[in-house]
Amino acid sequence: MANKKVDVAIVGVGWVGGILAAELTKAGLTVVGLERGHDRGTPQWQDDHDELRYAIRYEMFQNTANETWSFRHNLNETALPIRQLGAWLPGTGIGGAGVHWNGQTWRFHPRDFTIKTSTIDRYGASMIPANMTIQDWGITYDELEPYYDKFEYMAGIAGKAGNLRGQQIAGGNVFEGPRSRQFPVAPPPDTPLMALFRRATKSLGYHPFTGPTANLPVGYTNPDGIARAQCTYCGYCERFGCEVEAKADPTVTVLPVAHKTGKFKVINYANAFAIKNDGKNAQSILYYDSMGRVQEQPADIIVLGAFVFNNVRLLLNSKLGTPYDPTTGTGVVGRNYAYQTGGGGASGWFENEEFKRYMGAGALAAAIDDYNADNFDHSGLGFIGGGSISVGQSGARPIQSLTVPPGLPSFGSQWKAAVQKYYRRVVQVGFQGESPAYKQHYMDLDPNYRDKFGNPLLRITFDWQPNERAMIAFAGNKTLQIMQAMIPGAQVAKGGPLTPTAPGTISGGPGSLPAHFDTTAYQSTHNTGGAIMGADPATSVVNSYLQMWDTHNLFVVGACNFPQNAGFNPTGTVGALAYRAAEGILKYRKNGGALV
């Protein structure tokens, strides 16, 4: 027997599900959220300063024994399952990955939303490689701005505007799109390390600023009346929950607002596996309950608000939309899988200075945006795109933070001496790069491997391409230069013997990516695409309200909407899209039909 029909049923209770639940229940709708994991919140995080349990043994993440992905590098390979987590760490449980994130909260650049048009306008069509399938978002930065603003005021994002209604402001990110108003919270002060980065990048002519953060530097009460405390800089952010509620997460922001209306209900241990539909209309969500029984949740409007992979797999399992075909480039579901391009950073081992690296907050950072997006001239460089460059002080938990200068052994007394010396003295200048879309990068259902319920795993086809290799090589030289300005006179390690008198040692230079994408080493949980938004139903799954082109009462929301990925963390944009979808759902509720 089906559950009682509600106005809106949502798959996944993370940032997307939480924002929609709050906005729609405030507007009077009844909402049910299906969450595969357990209920949780601040009380659970009071004793979570345990690197082994949370960061190494993956306490808060998807259990790959139950459900994982298969992966291949190209269309000719047989995909193999990812047998344990590595490259990315999706969450599970109430709040989703929004509980264990760092809190780095960016807006994408105006150019990112019109990447194809902007690239062709500036450089000509030949700048885009033949198999690169980047496309415009079907929405502009200016159209999305009010929703970014909503997300930032709800979450209490701290930062300094670099562009206020078109007016550039030194000390903020002067490359960002215009903001309608200042950040709700002023940025945190500089740590000595951030100050050093700021001086070094300024001396090189760049435009440093404080990274926008969801870790509150001071107490804040948001427009919903939710008050949260300031950050203690305990150093346990990413992969942990926040015990003082300083980090914005759905369980301490939007979910209490939804629950307070009395119109929101969460069903835990509900594993959605299909959307019952007749092609035109989505009728209900089919899910396995905690006992493994099939249950049905009918609703007038259905929202897929789970992580990228789960949203795409649900569409494919439900035969909603046309699956993407990488040989012809036609079809839409699974199209334009993209990621985040790392590498290109530089490391520096200081001989004299010490930094309190074990202190920190997930988004406590100084950054420059001079080499992101199209903020610099790409003529003759051989690639498009760029990335954000930053030095973060997010808390160096010891098991994961023992790097020694190149050329030293990786065990034994000599290594141990280096570990002891450098644990508090090594710093990284990081590069977080764009990931363009390609014709052959996509998601579909795996023919061989199944999850614990017997449903096919999602198969990912992806590898590094020449454009990103060129971008990373370029970035590595820039971060090396910054590190050299941070440790004047440092030696650049070449693998040979080190000079003991140098004030520091640097590892960097032209960055490189591995021969093939490595699923085992953590890189980023910024997976994107597969249910992308756009202006054309032939090349996108949803319109600019995240409403499915073919099925008007179905909304698909999240980083799965990104046609390709920008050189920034995605959560700010995911949050903005969720607010946009909430508005779309209320419009649809009133008028019905296609919103665009």
Partner 1 sequence: MSEKPTTANDGEATPGPRMTRLGLLRRGAVAGVTGVAAGSLLQISPGAAAQEAAPLPLQFFTQWEFDYVTAMAETIWPTDSLGPGAREAGVGNYIDGQLAGSWGQGHRFYLNGPFFTPADTGHGWQIPMTPADVYRAFLPGYDAYVHTTFGNAYPTLTADQQTTAMTALQTGKATIPIGGTMAFASSDFFAVFRQNVLEGMLSDPAYGGNKNMVGWMQIGFPGDPMRRGDLYHNYIFSDKAYPYANKPLPLMPNYAKQGVSAGAAATGSKMPANSATNKGGM
Q: Indicate the residue among 38 and 202 with the shorter CB distance to partner 1.
A: 38
Q: How many residues does the chain have?
A: 596
Give me the catalytic one of 100, 109, 441, 526: 526
* Backbone φ/ψ region at 408: left (φ over 0), alpha (ψ -120 to 50), beta: beta
522 binds partner 1 (CB under 8 A): no
The b/e string for 345-382 (b: 16+ C-beta within 10 A; e otherwise) is bbbbbbeebebebbbbbbbbbbbbbbbbbbbeebeeee
**Shortest distance in whole angstroms from residue 217 CB to partner 1:** 9
Q: Indicate the residue among 65 and 538 with the shorter CB distance to partner 1.
A: 65
**Shortest distance in whole angstroms from residue 190 CB to partner 1:** 7
Tokens at residue 355, please? 């930094």
**Shortest distance in whole angstroms from residue 36 CB to partner 1:** 7
Of the candidate residues 5, 42, 86, 174, the single one contacting partner 1 (CB under 8 A): 86
Of the candidate residues 28, 77, 146, 596, the single one contacting partner 1 (CB under 8 A): 77
Q: Indicate the residue among 28 and 292 with the shorter CB distance to partner 1.
A: 292
Question: Is 441 one of the annotated active-site residues of the chain?
Answer: no
81 binds partner 1 (CB under 8 A): yes
CA–CA separation, 5 vs 33, rounded Å?
Answer: 13
Tokens at residue 578, please? 């969720």
- Residues 227-266 touching partner 1, rule: CB under 8 A, are 230-235, 243
**8 Å CB contact between 471 and 343:** no
Of the candidate residues 142, 143, 518, 536, the single one contacting partner 1 (CB under 8 A): 518
- SS3 state of residue 157: coil
Q: Indicate the residue among 152 and 451 with the shorter CB distance to partner 1.
A: 451
The H-or-E segment that residue 376 falls in is: none
- Residue 569: count of CB within 10 angstroms of its CB: 23
Note the maximum CA span of the chain. 76
**Shortest distance in whole angstroms from residue 54 CB to partner 1:** 10
Contact segment (CB under 8 A) with partner 1 among 68-76, 120-128, 306-314, 427-435 equals 68-76
Rg of the chain taking only CA atoms, in angstroms: 23
Q: Indicate the residue among 106 and 236 with the shorter CB distance to partner 1.
A: 236
> How far is the CA of 101 from the CAs of 90, 394, 527, in angstroms?
10, 11, 14
* Contacting residues for 226 by C-beta, under 8 A, at least 6 apart: 252, 253, 256, 257
- Residues 2-21 touching partner 1, rule: CB under 8 A, are none
- Residues 432-461 touching partner 1, rule: CB under 8 A, are 448-450, 452-454
Contact segment (CB under 8 A) with partner 1 among 123-131, 392-400, 523-531, 538-546 equals 392-400
58 binds partner 1 (CB under 8 A): yes
Helices (H), ranges, 271-348: 308-317
52 binds partner 1 (CB under 8 A): yes
Show the site string, 398-417: x = touches partner 1 by CB under 8 A, - = not.
xx--x-------xxxx--xx
525 binds partner 1 (CB under 8 A): no
Please identify every residue annotated as catalytic.
Answer: 526
